[in-house]
Amino acid sequence: MALDPGFRMHAERTPNPQSLKWVLSEEVVPHAQSANFQEPVDEAVSPLAARLFAVTGVIGVFLAANFVTVTKREEFEWTELAPGVMAAIKEHMASGDAGLGPAFEAGPALPQSELVGRIREILDNEVRPAVAMDGGDVVFVGFNEGVVEVMLQGACVGCPSSTATLRFGIEARLREAIPEVTRVVQV
């Protein structure tokens, strides 16, 4: 299969110097879904992530609606890795394969109270789109006794700005809107 002639791709820097966000003109995974891989995976789990991990120096792959964030080992330079990363993405997109394979398992659906619903709404509608612009994601994990637990993914993992994002961005917004929230922590 050939790459669609209208296919476009470009790289964007993220606040994490070890991660680059590759924005594509085509869907990578279904819009409401994302996947974060911190170690190599089989093609049955994600054909795209498997191709990217085959590039020497790649240590993380985050897939979202129309972008892929790739994280490298510190001792490698992007000038060394970018050609291999671009080739792997183009090869995958030309293959027609889905970004996620049949063996991919999304996390279980969490029970949701009205309060948790409000927290998730703010995260989904305000926080996640902002964080996605920097090549990452914030996933709600739980809420217990005033503490919101989240998992950072993509470029957010290991980013020097992630503590500030949690404290002054996510926590401040949730506390402003929902008085029951006292703290936000990364798990």
In single-letter form, the type of residue at position 74 comes to: E
Task: Give the residue-averaged pLDDT of 24-30.
Answer: 91
Tell me if the pTM is above 0.85: no
Please report, for the chain, the start and end positions of each structural domain, with discontinuous segments joined by +: 9-95, 114-186
Token pair of 173, please? Answer: 């917004």
On the question of a common fold for 9-95 and 114-186, the answer reads no
Question: Distance (Å, rounded) from C-alpha 176 to C-alpha 153?
Answer: 24
Backbone dihedral angles phi then psi of residue 183, each to the nearest 5 degrees: -160, 155
> What percent of the chain has a predicted confidence (pLDDT) above 90?
58
Sheet holding 58-63, edge to edge: 9-13, 19-24, 67-72, 58-63, 35-37
**Mind listing the pLDDT tens digit for each residue in 131-179?**
888 888 898 888 988 999 998 888 888 888 888 888 888 999 999 999 9
CATH of domain 114-186: 3.30.300.130
Dihedral angle sign, alpha carbons of residues 124, 127, 132, 135 = negative
Superfamily of domain 9-95 in the CATH hierarchy: Scaffold protein Nfu/NifU, N-terminal domain (3.30.1370.70)
**Mind listing the pLDDT tens digit for each residue in 49-101?**
999 999 999 999 999 989 999 999 999 999 999 999 999 999 999 998 999 99
